[in-house]
A and B are shown apart, each in its own frame.
Chain A
């Protein structure tokens, strides 16, 4: 019994940020669903645009940019809302939207977890595409929006399909979500979030100089490499085992998985060193 409790505590401790993230993700989702199903009013809309506590709006800055590219300027409410979101992630959260808010993260994390458990690592036939392609997808999304007069990423976004699906009903949207899961599982490790998603690319660029980052203390590190195994963007961990310092790449999603699994406390969340 005592042993069980000890085990429980250690499991929670080794997954504390994962549990916290899921709590945040589900709370946001449930708030939106509650608005549609049970008439709550504190969070009205969805992740594209939402009214908070009947007082101000938040909006997806990349969606607002696409709408702008397609030839329409949204109302000042949403312009301010998009600006608030942009400033929040740019100064504080970095790419935290991806791992703490985005519902598709739950799907792609599951795919990555299952991939590890099943030992899928087809290094010989693995699709090799540079992670930087997301920035080109980001740019292409804006160019195409301008050419077609249509927010093109919003037309195909699996994030939107999953998110709206959960709140308003799926239709065939679930097929797209399962496609992303299978793609990440059998075709490409961290395929969608780590390579193609233009929204992730957007927050990677805008959140590059955000304050919250993971800090590495090399003197505590025992070179176990556990963090590399769980990290969805392992290229950001390049200093780990080598140098002390901040994980300051914009592509880090601040998911805290490395902090969770590090048995040596060599990785912790910290504020950026301001020189």
Chain B
């Protein structure tokens, strides 16, 4: 009897433990899924000096100090229906772009380090006073060439004129209009090395929906892979140091592929 009682209590303890672990697992799945889902979009434009999106949502404590510091009310804190990590700051360029304050109050006010003055400062100096707003990389302007009326031959340079780095971040490209034979296309071209993603161009665009759109750098960028070598760039071919002449592919495969007729009629 006594022995049985002991066995039962051990069994009960095990059951309770398993149930507890199960509850934790269930809670973890639901909660984790919800939190990860709510993080959602990587399309949000972050304030200047923001860390990379993945680090930014970690680091931001959601205090809203940057929003309060923004004199143009560009920055807002995300609410649950904004498709951005809740409580983190972002701006919609079409509504109110970043007006590029030279003293960058949003970064200066950020207490957590999610907005990092070092990203806007020269490498050797880390001081808030040395911040240069033109170093901001909030996003990159991308032109929709199908809907930009300049690409139709209509003369419009609204984005070019609105750009705070006029002639640098957006330049105008002149091209002969073969359709009329006597006019020019005057097309806006974005220089991705210089564009800060402030969004004044998107704000100024005259089409019903903007035809020049700011996308976060990570969204708007491709990636070539490490094996490409730019021989025309100084020291880029250092990548080849230590490379061997050994070829990894089977040379006979290239010679035989036509003789091996089966592969031609595979489908």
Seen from chain A, the residues whose Cβ lies within 8 Å of a Cβ on chain B are 35-36, 44-46, 48-51, 57, 59-60, 63-64, 67, 70-72, 74-75, 77-78, 81, 136-137, 140-141, 143-144, 147-152, 154-156, 160-161, 164-165, 167-173, 175-176
Contact = CB atoms under 8 A, between A and B. Distances in A.
A11 B42 CA distance: 54
A168 B76 contact: yes
A74 B60 CA distance: 9
B59 interface: yes
A170 B79 contact: yes
Interface SS of B by simple majority: helix
Nearest to B39: A150
Interface residues of B, number: 38
B90 to A, nearest CB: 12
Interface in B40-67: 54-55, 57-59, 61-65, 67
Contacts of B68: 35-36, 44-45
A67 B39 CA distance: 15
B65 to A, nearest CB: 5
B58 A70 contact: yes
16 contacts: A44-B65, A45-B64, A48-B62, A67-B58, A74-B113, A75-B112, A141-B31, A144-B31, A155-B35, A164-B87, A165-B79, A168-B67, A171-B79, A171-B80, A172-B80, A173-B79
B32 A148 contact: yes
A46 B36 CA distance: 24
B39 A63 contact: no
B113 to A, nearest CB: 5
Interface of B: 20, 23-24, 27-28, 31-32, 34-36, 38-39, 54-55, 57-59, 61-65, 67-68, 76-82, 85-87, 109, 111-113
A164 B77 contact: yes
A60 B20 CA distance: 28
A203 to B, nearest CB: 18
Contact of A59 (B27, B32, B59, B61): B61
A67 B61 contact: yes
B50 to A, nearest CB: 13
B35 A167 contact: no
Given A155-B39, A171-B80, 4 more contacts: A60-B61, A160-B86, A164-B77, A175-B80
Contact of A45 (B24, B32, B111): B111
A148 B54 CA distance: 11
A63 B32 CA distance: 16
Contacts of A59: 61, 111
Contacts of A51: 65, 111
A167 B58 CA distance: 22
Contact of B79 (A63, A72, A77, A169): A169
Given A72-B55, A168-B76, A36 B67 contact: yes
Contact of A150 (B27, B36, B79): B36
Contacts of B34: 155-156
B62 A164 contact: yes
Contacts of A64: 61
